[in-house]
Amino acid sequence: MPRLLDRAKMTLKATDVGLSLRPVDPHLRFLKRVFGALGGAAAVDVGASDGFYSRVLASCFDMVVSLEPNPILAARLGELLPANCLVLAAAAGAAHGKATLRVPRYAHEEGHYRATLSDENQFAGTPVQGVDTVEVEVTPLDDLLRVSQRRVAVVKIDTEGFELPVLAGGRGLLVRHQPVMVVEIDRRQNPAADEVFDVLTAEGQSLALVERDRLVRLDRRQFQRLQADLAGAGGVLGYEPVNYLAWCARDDDKIAPFVRAAPAALQSLLDGAGPAKSPQAALQPS
């Protein structure tokens, strides 16, 4: 049985969060350049987690709303993020209410960063030893941002499989502001990954994989191919292709300089007929 999250025992040290210690990865360094080209006054970080995206967004926009439902992480973010980040200890979802956040427990690592509101996410492929739970507030993005007149240029979503409710509760924001969307999509966490793709591209938006130093535009078939074997693709590419960026035609001119042809290994995965295989898997007899 899951146990309740013990806030007294499950505390984090500054080094656990590591906002100033861990290097910014190549994806974030690249995305900072993209964000800087967009203009706009505000950004939203849904699932702020360790705060790295919030910090990058805060360097590009006047205001960042950082939503993090995990009370332990939210408290730490409130201490460590820049002054132009508004940290809210809440989850984004389809409607106001409360929900159960599930936090996995592992023997040798913190599980806070894998916490999820999605019942579909069973922490596949990770050595879970148990699950803690905590009740959290849920609010739609539309209601949260109705009080602000600032134009939202970017919405980043990393919710470990809870993407569809977040998008449902932010429909008005997406139509009104037409922000660039940066979304982690992982079929292992969310079997409805194809639906997330469809929502993000429903009004003719473009979608691209965030590669190390470029955006690689994808159609639905190519997206499905990458999602079909994320671990295998990760073995080939050196990273698992789970970070995607979607944008409206209005931003085509701003995004175009960052869209480039896929590197050879990625293009091979996009064009191939069979599932991606890591070098280790390729050695196994079929």
| Whole-number pLDDT of residue 144 | 82
Q: Are strands 180-184 and 243-247 parallel, antiparallel or unpaired?
A: antiparallel
Q: Measured between alpha carbons, how far is 61 from 41 in angstroms, rounded to an integer?
A: 5
More confident residue, 1 or 70: 70
- Of 113, 125, 207, 226, the residue nearest 160 (C-alpha): 113
Residue 255 and residue 34 in contact, taking contact as beta carbons nearer than 8 Å? yes
At 224, is the pLDDT very low, low, confident or very high (cuts 50, 70, 90)? very high
Q: Measured between alpha carbons, how far is 17 from 149 in angstroms, rounded to an integer?
A: 32
Cβ atoms < 10 Å from Cβ of 175: 10
Task: Please state the length of the chain.
Answer: 286
| Whole-number pLDDT of residue 219 | 97
pLDDT of 94-146, one tens digit each?
999 999 898 888 876 677 777 778 787 777 777 777 888 889 999 999 998 77
| Whole-number pLDDT of residue 79 | 94
Residue 241 and residue 209 in contact, taking contact as beta carbons nearer than 8 Å? yes
Q: Measured between alpha carbons, how far is 267 from 270 in angstroms, rounded to an integer?
A: 5
Residues 6+ apart with CB under 8 A from 61: 35, 40, 41, 42, 43, 84, 153, 154
| Whole-number pLDDT of residue 149 | 77
Number of independent structural domains in the chain: 1
More confident residue, 110 or 227: 227
Mean residue pLDDT across the chain: 85
CATH code, domain carrying 109: 3.40.50.150
Cβ atoms < 10 Å from Cβ of 88: 18
pLDDT of 250-263, one tens digit each?
999 999 999 999 99
- Of 199, 191, 184, the residue nearest 245 (C-alpha): 184
| Whole-number pLDDT of residue 20 | 43
pLDDT of 182-219, one tens digit each?
999 999 989 999 999 999 999 899 999 999 899 999 99
**From the CA atom positions of the chain, what is the Rg in Å?**
19
What average pLDDT does the segment 219-239 reach? 93
Domain span at residue 173? 3-282
